[in-house]
Amino acid sequence: MNYGKKKAAKRQKQITSKSAMQAKRVGVRLFKALLLCIIVVAIAGVAGGGLFVKKIIDNSPDITPDDVKPQGFTTLVYADDGTTEIERFVAAGSNRVYKTIDEIPADLQHAFVAIEDERFYEHNGIDIKGIVRAGVSLISGGSQGASTLTQQLIKNNVFPNFVNEKTFYDKLQRKLQEQFLAVSIEKQMSKDEIMEAYLNTINLGQNCLGVQSAAKRYFNKDVSELTLSESAVIAGITQSPGNLNPITNPQKNQKRRDKVLKNMLKQGYIDQAAYDEAMADDVYARIQSVNETQTDSSNAYSYFVDALADQVMNGLQDQCGFSETQAYNAVYSGGLSIYSTQNQSLQQICDEEANDDSNYPSNIEYGLDYALTVTRADGSTENYSSGHIKKYVKETYNKDQGLLYKSEDAARAMVEEWKSTIAQEGDTYNEVINISPQPQASITLMDQYTGQIKAMVGGRGAKSTSLGLNRAYKGSKRQPGSTFKILAAYAPALDLDEMTLASVIDDKNYDVGGGKTIKGSKGDVSMRTAIALSLNSCAVQTSDLVTQDVGMEYCEKLGINTLVTNKVVNGKTYSDNTKTLALGGLTDGVYNYELCSAYAAIANNGVYNKPTLYTKVLDHDGNVLLDGTGESRQAIKDSTAGLLTSALQTVVKEGTGKACQLDNMPVAGKTGTTTSNKDLWFVGYTPYYTCAVWGGYDDNKECNSDTKFRFRIWKGIMSRVHENLETKDFVMPSSVEQKSVCTISGYLATSSCPSVTEYFATDSLPDQSCPGHKNYSEDYNSEENDSKSNDTNGDNTGNNTDTNTGANTGGNTGGNTDGNTGGNTGGNTGGNTGGNTGGGDAGGGDAGGGDAGGNTQ
pLDDT digits 0-9 by tens, 26-75: 666 776 667 777 776 666 556 555 565 666 666 667 788 888 888 889 99
Which tens digits make up the pLDDT trace of 337-386? 999 999 999 999 999 999 999 999 999 999 999 989 999 999 899 999 99
| Residue 292 Cα to chain centre, angstroms | 25
DSSP conformation letters of 662-707: -SSS--EEEEEE-GGG-SEEEEEE-SS-EEEEEEE-TT-----S-S
Predicted pLDDT of residue 4: 59
Burial of residue 190 (CB within 10 Å: 0-12, 13-18, 19+) is exposed
- 745 in helix, strand or coil? coil
CATH topology of domain 95-296: Penicillin binding protein transpeptidase fold (1.10.3810)
Q: Per mean pLDDT, which range of 173-182, 536-545, 713-722 is the poorest?
A: 173-182
Q: How far apart are CA 777 and CA 506, in angstroms?
A: 14
Q: How far apart are CA 397 and CA 385, in angstroms?
A: 19
Residue 813, pLDDT > 90, answer no
**Mean pLDDT across the chain:** 84
**Which band of pLDDT confidence, cut at 50, 70 and 90, is reported for residue 210?**
very high
| Angle, in degrees to the nearest 10, between helices 18-58 and 168-186 | 60
The Cα-based distances of 172 to 175, 177, 179 in angstroms read 5, 9, 11
Q: How far apart are CA 692 and CA 471, in angstroms?
A: 12
Mean predicted confidence (pLDDT) in 428-457:
95
Sign of the CA dihedral running 632, 635, 638, 643: negative
Most confident segment among 8-12, 32-36, 170-174, 302-306:
302-306
> What backbone torsions phi and psi does residue 693 show, to the nearest 5 degrees?
-125, 125
Which tens digits make up the pLDDT trace of 779-797? 434 333 333 333 333 333 3
Closest by CA to 809, choosing from 833, 835, 837, is: 833
Burial 541-563 (b: 16+ CB within 10 A, else e): bbbebbebebbbebbebbbbebb
DSSP structure class, residue 225: G
The Cα-based distances of 715 to 349, 733, 847 in angstroms read 11, 27, 21
Mean predicted confidence (pLDDT) in 5-28:
62
Q: Domain residues of the chain, as ranges?
A: 95-296
